[in-house]
Structure 1
Amino acid sequence: MARFCVNYLGCGSATPTLRHQPSCQIIDYRDNLMMVDCGEGAQLAMRRQRMKFSRLNRIFISHLHGDHCLGLPGLLSTLSLIGRDGGEITLYTFKEGVELFDRLMRFFCHGMPYEINYHVIDAAAPAGEVVLDTDSLTVSTFPLRHTVPCVGFLFKEKPKPRHIRRDMVDFYNVPVSKLHGIKNGDDFVTSDGCIVPNAVLTTEADEAYSYAYCSDTVYTPELAKAVEGVHTLYHEATYTNESKHKALTRGHSTAPQAARIAQMAGVKRLVLGHYSKQYANEARHLEEARAIFPNTVLSDEGLRLEF
């Protein structure tokens, strides 16, 4: 199993269709599940994709529109009904979201067997904020321009240690106590004062991956700086180019606009999503985006992207 992958549970926009459900994704990082947005039907999609509710421990809400959060009360209620025993769910949302969901849970779920830990997001932070920092991963926000306060999320692995060359470590009699520092870039000094460069003792570290989630937003060139250099960028593409004026008035983007952000940011892969109900398929979205940024894929319910 991959140590870092993204599962797409809902790829539609405000109105669900028979083809797409409202927004929901799950980041599977080292067997821990983190949900990003929670539209209606999220828990059913988890069942269909055989994801274990017990592994879900963090939920990130980009903004308080129904197609991004109305699945949350039912999901949290189900976690209580199935007997999630102890522990906590951390919910990242705005101050208004904390007040709303706390009231709903106190009304519907008495005596919950787990705790909800609320982390308040500051939507006004101009450069975003780090909301999660672990030994191997950080999650930070960045501001988006929508009709209500809205943020994107950047999941970024920390630099990984270099690989030890066992033959060279043995040749220079490097003690075990020095290996940790060498993995992190230290040179080695022998007993007679000779400096052995780190490049002699190690090989390159594995790539540290990153994933950016750009929820509902109008086209904003400044956004490219916030997601610069990420491995995979998910960017909403509610409309195709002929509806760019509708996109602007409703706080959304088109497929070519998403591709331009990917191009300016120098990302490796672009994933489109949040499709309007007006389309019978997304072939035109893909065509328009690939004309600008060739390495573009369409999200779809059930898609799993591994890093």
Structure 2
Amino acid sequence: MKFELTILGSSSATPIFNRNPTSQVLNINERLYMIDCAEGTQQQMLRFDVKGSRIDHIFISHLHGDHYLGLVGLLSSMHLNGRSKPLYLYGPPHLKEIVELQLTYSDTVLQYNLEFKPTTPDKEVILDNHDVTVETIPLFHGIACTGFLFREKKRLRKLLKEKLERLKIPVEYYSALKKGADYTTADGTVLKNDTLTVDSDDPKSYAYCSDTMYNEAYFKQISNVTLLYHEATFLNNMLERALDTQHTTALQAAEVALKTGAQKLLIGHFSARYKTLNELLDEARSVFPETELAIEGKTFIIGE
């Protein structure tokens, strides 16, 4: 099952040094989920071959412009490109008013259904489908802000097909075997399921921690994730500035990963003051070696 993340934007408040503000696309079993949608996101989608027609869910963490100002343009382009299937949008309650106001005054009536699910300051499951559950992560920023925790569903058991064929087990029993059933032969012999199948891989998880100051209140919820994305706006020598703006330093992001037992850390939301990012990466790796930069256009296979 595919579970991979593509970075479309990793700058903070302004686009600079060829870095765009925040946007990501998560591919889960060939279904695309967009996380934040800053200005310039559509250009990044074209640049990195991300097709809007494949996106059915968009998650907006908060209403600072560098996380949502590309949204209405993307919704409009989907309309102009003939989208007919529903689109599901998740974000702060006032996001609905913002979108509707812009559509109203441009005299635009979307030819697809836009289903809006408001987020709240509390932890809650906002999506539960065949592949994944998504829950909000309450964060600590200047305005209401949530991260998003994506957890894969446990897959069915994997068939040992060569063995099944050798034993001439009928195909119509395969579904039951995947669900853990034993198989009884014509002469009454019971073949245990674990001799005919193997367990599927452990479910993977991805935690997206958008703008936030360091606060251990959300640590338990994101414990032991496969991949943790955490904002790292500043170097730790600007800790006072990070506290004033309710952001996190690269050192603090690494401490979050260490304390929560993340398998891997991805840092982003870099301040425009940093032309190169090596210092931020080195600072994070001094605490948590399994750290990577959220480089635009790069795809991370979660679990590798």
TM-score, length-scaled by structure 2:
0.91
> Deviation of residue 197 (structure 1)?
3.6
Equivalent position of 2:261 in the other structure: 266
SS of 1:245's partner is helix
> Deviation of residue 141 (structure 1)?
0.9
Q: Which of 108, 117, 125 is the matching residue for 1:119?
A: 117
User: 1:140 is matched by which residue type in structure 2?
Assistant: E
Residue 135 (str. 1) matches residue 130 (str. 2): yes
Q: Please list, as runs of the form range in 1=range in 2, the aligned pairs for 1:48-67 lying within 5 A after superposition.
A: 48-67=47-66
Equivalent position of 1:105 in the other structure: 103
> Deviation of residue 150 (structure 1)?
0.6
Q: Which of 292, 301, 304 is the matching residue for 2:299?
A: 304
Equivalent position of 1:84 in the other structure: 82
User: 1:92 is matched by which residue type in structure 2?
Assistant: Y
The 3 A distance-change label for structure 1 pair 65 and 77 is same
- Structure 2 residue runs of 5 or longer lacking an equivalent are none
CA RMSD, Structure 1 to Structure 2 (Å): 2.1
Equivalent position of 2:280 in the other structure: 285
What is the number of residues matched between the two proteins? 302
- Structure 1 residue runs of 5 or longer lacking an equivalent are none
Equivalent position of 2:3 in the other structure: 4
> Deviation of residue 33 (structure 1)?
2.1
TM-score, length-scaled by structure 1:
0.91
Equivalent position of 1:209 in the other structure: 204
Tell me, in whole angstroms, the C-alpha distance in 1 between the residues paired with 2:198 and 2:191.
14
The 3 A distance-change label for structure 1 pair 109 and 44 is farther
In the TM superposition, what whole-angstrom CA distance separates every residue of 1:270-302 from its partner, at most 9, and x where no partner exists? 100000111121111111111111111001111
Q: Please list, as runs of the form range in 1=range in 2, the aligned pairs for 1:138-287 lying within 5 A after superposition.
A: 138-166=133-161, 168-169=163-164, 174=169, 176-188=171-183, 196-287=191-282
Tell me, in whole angstroms, the C-alpha distance in 2 between the residues paired with 1:156 and 1:192.
43
User: 1:273 is matched by which residue type in structure 2?
Assistant: G
SS of 1:154's partner is strand
Percent identical residues = 38
* Structure 2 contact 29–131 (Cα < 8 Å) conserved: no
Tell me, in whole angstroms, the C-alpha distance in 1 between the residues paired with 2:88 and 2:56.
6
Tell me, in whole angstroms, the C-alpha distance in 2 between the residues paired with 1:225 and 1:253.
18
* Structure 1 contact 168–200 (Cα < 8 Å) conserved: no
